[in-house]
Amino acid sequence: MQLTKKLTLASQSKIRAAVLEGAGLDFEVQVSGVDEDALKAAHHGAADALALALAAAKAQAVAAEGLLIGADQILECDGKLYDKPRDMDEARHNLSLFRGKTHYLVGGVVLVEGGETVWAHGGRVALTMRDFSDAFLDAYLAAAGERVLSSVGCYQLEGLGAHLFSAIDGDYFSILGLPLLPLLDGLRTHGGLIA
């Protein structure tokens, strides 16, 4: 699709880049280098506000002309927030905690222009994991491998992760970490795409 401004994705997420590519957008990628752990430690509000704050910090930390896209996603289960697992043991532990429960992927995406946030969108998706056996969990982790470490929920819904779930309520693109339809509207509103 025809862009009217330069577009930069402030994220190293390959899936977010793939979503934008799939929508036919021409963009550059610049990783912000923001210390997410420090921002999370300093935040004392709701997960929704944290996701938007992290998304904005990423985009504002990148020096580029045009519109910058910042995005972040947090997993919330039983009132606790989870980060990407550090290793396979933590992935197994987290999946054991999530099974049989509904968790929420809380996401935020922003557009930044000239160092200022000009558009923001937040949302949440409810995902219910089935109550799978330990044997299934072992088989899943063996098959998925270290790819699970790149996801806050230890899964890629577009792949083997689909086997973990019994129900999903929400936008597919938001699960992937980039709510595409609202983002496209934001780009049209702020002159990034022809309306």
Q: Any idea which residues carry the catalytic annotation?
A: 72
Which region, left, alpha or beta, applies to residue 45 given φ > 0 means left and ψ of -120 to 50 means alpha? beta
Radius of gyration of the chain (CA): 17
CA neighbor of 29 nearest in space, from 11, 44, 43, 15: 11
Please report the DSSP string for 105-170 in residue order: EEEEEEEEETTEEEEEEEEEEEEEE----HHHHHHHHHHHGGGGGGSTTS--TTTGGGGGEEEEES
Q: What are phi and psi of 36, to 5 degrees?
A: -65, -35
For residue 33, with 0-12 CB atoms within 10 Å meaning exposed, 13-18 middle and 19 or more buried, which class applies?
exposed
